[in-house]
Structure 1
């Protein structure tokens, strides 16, 4: 009588690609297929979780402590259908914010405890104020500010500027105080990350 040998289920391996010039603290939580672009800063205890497909994060983003970027399956979703989540360039995800948006453009700010749910697309230059949330699927128009206890909206007169001063400071200072994950992707001229 032959013995049936079963192998343990194959767990999804973490496949994290970090571009040269990115500053990713070792204490951050990175799970799944994640690509982090150059000059992006990932603070300690920030979470990037790719359960329902890969996450592509562009250049010059700041992901602060306890901020979460999550690509998860919607309730009742098909686990065989993987959808990529794309984060553009020069976005700021402040402390304890949560982003599950399928697409985030450039120069957006999610302030402290802001929540952007799955099915939402942030275009460019949007600011989601402290403790504000966008939970219904929609495309948020450019330069929109969501603010106040009732999550009111208005359009900004000027486009927000990238947080270059803060970004350069963090790139210079964080390596002095934290262990970093080593970059494992070399930039190729003319090639985009996503």
Structure 2
């Protein structure tokens, strides 16, 4: 299903194939010969999303852009089943395996692999050809790779994430952080009430 959101309509190349149960919303451009499979969601929440040619977005994957962080997926990349990309730039010929997660402000260069259930943290930068092993976490610039059992080292490697501030505009030290966060974010998401079928 295609939706106009915030006055922007998806633009889909006539050779792209979009499954009838996929959802594509807002300022989204999908290039030639792309495949977007069942249950995938591609939603531009105030920032644009572009898919180069021959990109494959598998079942139930999520691509989400924000006003602060656009999404770009380079040509010949594959976004695996249940993978998610939030406000990140992905180079050409990249493989995001099932369950991979890429967070706001991350940049993944050409021919990288982010394997099953691996995480690329906010603002991490993966140089060309980097492989993030199954379940591992990529952090920082220059990037460091950690096994998931190294939580303290992961935290030390990413000192100024400020996820609530960067993504939601709420200071982490706010006493009612989750109240402020959900009210602001909910208000932003409520703009979907005015979406129109495209």
Provide the residue aligned with 1:96 in structure 2.
82
| Separation (CA, whole Å) in 2 of partners of 1:18 and 1:149 | 33
For structure 2, list consecutive stretches of 5 or more residues without a partner in the other structure: 139-144, 147-197
* Residue number among 27, 32, 44 corresponding to 1:33 in the alignment: 27
Larger RCO, structures 1/2 (Cα 8 Å, 6+ apart): 1
CA shift digits 1:10-58 (9 cap, x unpaired): x614501111211111210111111100000000110101003111111
Once the two structures are superposed, the pairs formed by residues 8-87 of structure 1 within 5 Å of their partners are 12-73=6-67, 83-87=69-73
Pairing 1:183-194 to 2, within 5 Å after superposition: none
* 1:141-184 deviations in Å (ceiling 9; x for gaps): 00010013444759xxxxxxxxxxxxxxxxxxxxxxxxxxxxx9
Shift of 1:127: 0.5
TM-score, with length taken from structure 1: 0.65
Q: Structure 2 length normalisation: TM-score?
A: 0.64
**How many residues are aligned here?**
137
| The structure with more helix, counted as a fraction of residues | 2
Gaps of 5+ in 1: 1-10, 74-81, 155-183, 185-194
